[in-house]
Amino acid sequence: MPVSARLIGQQRLEQMYRDVEIQTDKTFRAAAREIDDAFQDAMEKQFRTEGSSLLGRRWKSLSTEYAKRKARKFGKKTILRRTDRLFDSLVTRSHSEHIFRIQGPRITMGSKVPYGRFHQDGGRKKGRPPRRQIIKVPGWLLKKWTAILHKHLWKKR
């Protein structure tokens, strides 16, 4: 019966591997959700500080003419917060335009708001806004995300 003993052992080993794989996937998903929470916090702070939180400098000011028009129509809204559509999509996971995807070992976070890329990259055509980079991952934020992964994947069981 050595063949059947090996087969039983192999089946058990394969089941153990699947169990570890499932547990690792659940653990990674939990870590990814916490990383997205940290991303949302960073985005909220980025908007509150008008860019200086992640960039180390504030976003370019609005033109005087546009600032006056915006104030008349939208009150005292800060830069990139005219309707809050972009802001809400970056700081609220349940927002319909928030991007949070887990694909294997990759996590994608961001916004589906179409005009967000013009602010992120800057307009190259007349009438487009200047670059006001929203998403940037400085070293301290990357370290925070790495610590979250370590906490989840290497915690004692």
Tens digit of each residue's pLDDT (9 = 90 or more) over 31-56: 999 999 999 999 999 999 999 999 89
Number of domains in the chain: 1
Residue-number span of the structural domain to which 41 is assigned: 2-153
Average model confidence (pLDDT) across the chain: 85
Across residues 73-102, what is the average pLDDT?
94
Pick from 17-26, 32-41, 95-104: least confident: 17-26
**What per-residue confidence (pLDDT) applies to 5?**
41
- Give the C-alpha separation, 95 to 116, whole Å: 15
Which among 87, 79, 91, 109 has a CA at the least distance from the CA of 41?
91
**Residue 157 pLDDT exceeds 70:** no
Pick from 12-21, 24-33, 58-67: least confident: 12-21
Q: Which amino acid does the sequence have at 103? A: Q
Across residues 121-134, what is the average pLDDT?
81
Please report, in angstroms and rounded to a whole number, the separation of the first and last CA atoms in the chain: 36
User: The whole model's pTM is what?
Assistant: 0.81
Which among 80, 83, 82, 114 has a CA at the least distance from the CA of 97?
114
